Amino acid sequence: MNYTLWTVVAVTVMVGFPVCVPEEIQAAGQQRGTPGDFRLGSFFLGTQRTEEQEWGAIQASAEAGDVDAQYDLGAAYDNGVGTPQDYAEAVRWYRRAAEQGHVDAQFVLGVRYFFGVGIAQDDTEAVHWYRLAAEQGAAGAQSELGVMYANGRGVSQDDAEAARWFRRAAEQGYAMGQANLGELYYLGQGVPLDYREAVRWYGLAADQGNAAAQFSLGVVRFFGRGVAQDYAEAVRWYGLAAEQGHARAQNNLGLMYTRGRGVPQDDAVAVSWFRLAAAQGLPDAQYQLGFAYDFARGVLQDDGEAVDWYRQSARQGHAAAQFSLGGMYAGGRGVPQDNAVAVVWYRRAADQGHASAQFSLGGMYARGEGVAQDAVQAHMWFHLAAARSTGAFQAQALRERDGLAGKLSAADHGEAQRLAREWEMAGPR
């Protein structure tokens, strides 16, 4: 299984309102600090020596094989303290310390290999150094090793092994390990599905200020999984995470304001949160911002802005944004009218199973707009749209499909049905 993480892994799909599941199996840099932000050691602390004297002392000790000095020299190059910043030289000194068993250096070297900073990116090497540090009890390295197993990076994918390493980190009180272990319990991956246990681990991490865990607590409060459903509590946890810059929490908080759940309905406040998340590149928030401009929700109506935000989201594969962008081209709103381009965007959304896009694409084929007129293709897309909808919309799709069926030959009707079956077997692209 592939997960969505802040810096390393993989996955939650957010569709409409609200987000589906918590998303963070987190990776390096969340508590420990990102590469280039590691502590300097004793050579730079609590002395009266000048920077030049400090630099000379640390170099001499490092060259003589002092493992702490080697680590500190790596940190000095990392941070540009006493010398120009040089990530490659930092890695060289971290390696010398790591090879002597320095646990912090082993962890940092694993992070460097994972991100490819100062050295070529290499998941296998990252795992090697994480494991050495993890086996010495380094909680951060244990959590990172769990991430690698969860995503099958540098090792064979193994949720049970991921859970084992997350638990070792979590039991030391390491917030990322706690949040990650909670996520596995929420998903039932590597451990039995257990929402209450997920909530327990999320809570421990959230109490330490972990934004991902705070976001996840917002999700479980929204759905009432493992705890009583409580929209106001969902808003509170989303807010704590959002204030730390967590993009999905910002987006979900915007959705709560859009619908007036747990807070008074306020489109303008919703837009402010969508904008923060959209600026971080979150496609769900970009779509919501495009929708706000499209329909004047909390902002003045602006077709050009709507197109811009829809496009940014659509390019990242967001089906609703692709459908909306197709509609803007079909209607000539914010862009020159262009049915051929509309068809391109409708098709991308339709291939993901978006029912409205499938219906619109069927209409384009039926009328020969942007594509050659083709009743067989139109029938197929209307059929698929009907299969993915209910109520009045489904009835309309069925009317369009059945209206075409009466005009098709038996062979063409059979071909349309065959194409629809093949699409269903292949599933959304």
- Report the pLDDT value the prediction gives residue 64, as an integer from 0 to 100: 93
Helix axes 355-367, 391-405, angle to 10 degrees: 30
Do 387 and 369 fall within a single domain? yes
Q: Is 4 helix (H, G, I), strand (E, B) or coil?
A: strand
Kindly state whether residue 22 falls inside one of the protein's structural domains: no
pLDDT mean across residues, the chain:
89
- The answer to whether residues 149 and 162 touch, using CB atoms and an 8 Å cutoff, is yes
Do 326 and 250 fall within a single domain? no
Do 347 and 422 fall within a single domain? yes
pLDDT beneath 70, residues of the chain: 1-52
316, 335, 353 - which closes a domain: 316
Kindly state whether residue 151 falls inside one of the protein's structural domains: no
Unique residue bearing structure tokens 């059979």: 414
Kindly state whether residue 168 falls inside one of the protein's structural domains: no
Kindly state whether residue 364 falls inside one of the protein's structural domains: yes
Do 245 and 351 fall within a single domain? no
Do 244 and 261 fall within a single domain? yes
| Whole-structure pTM value | 0.86
Do 418 and 345 fall within a single domain? yes
Do 297 and 390 fall within a single domain? no
How far is the C-alpha of 203 from the C-alpha of 220, rounded, in Å? 11
Do 292 and 337 fall within a single domain? no
The closest of 55, 155, 152, 144 to 106, measured between CA atoms, is 144
Kindly state whether residue 380 falls inside one of the protein's structural domains: yes
Residue 409 token pair: 């030959």
Kindly state whether residue 172 falls inside one of the protein's structural domains: no
- Report the pLDDT value the prediction gives residue 49, as an integer from 0 to 100: 53
290, 316, 342 - which closes a domain: 316
Kindly state whether residue 372 falls inside one of the protein's structural domains: yes
The amino acid at residue 402 is D
Helix axes 103-115, 67-79, angle to 10 degrees: 40
Do 329 and 429 fall within a single domain? yes
- Report the pLDDT value the prediction gives residue 18, as an integer from 0 to 100: 31
How far is the C-alpha of 271 from the C-alpha of 360, rounded, in Å? 28
How far is the C-alpha of 333 from the C-alpha of 347, rounded, in Å? 19
Do 380 and 415 fall within a single domain? yes
Do 362 and 270 fall within a single domain? no
For residue 259, give its domain range: 230-316
CATH number for 236:
1.25.40.10
- Report the pLDDT value the prediction gives residue 50, as an integer from 0 to 100: 58
Do 307 and 259 fall within a single domain? yes
Burial class (CB in 10 A: 0-12, 13-18, 19+), 112: buried
264, 282, 316 - which closes a domain: 316
How many distinct structural domains can be found in the chain? 2
pLDDT tens for 275-328 read: 999 999 999 999 999 999 999 999 999 999 999 999 999 999 999 999 999 999
- Report the pLDDT value the prediction gives residue 390, as an integer from 0 to 100: 96
Kindly state whether residue 82 falls inside one of the protein's structural domains: no
The closest of 193, 252, 138, 212 to 1, measured between CA atoms, is 193
How far is the C-alpha of 63 from the C-alpha of 329, rounded, in Å? 65
- Report the pLDDT value the prediction gives residue 45, as an integer from 0 to 100: 40
| Range list of H helices, 80-122 | 87-99, 103-115
- Report the pLDDT value the prediction gives residue 8, as an integer from 0 to 100: 31
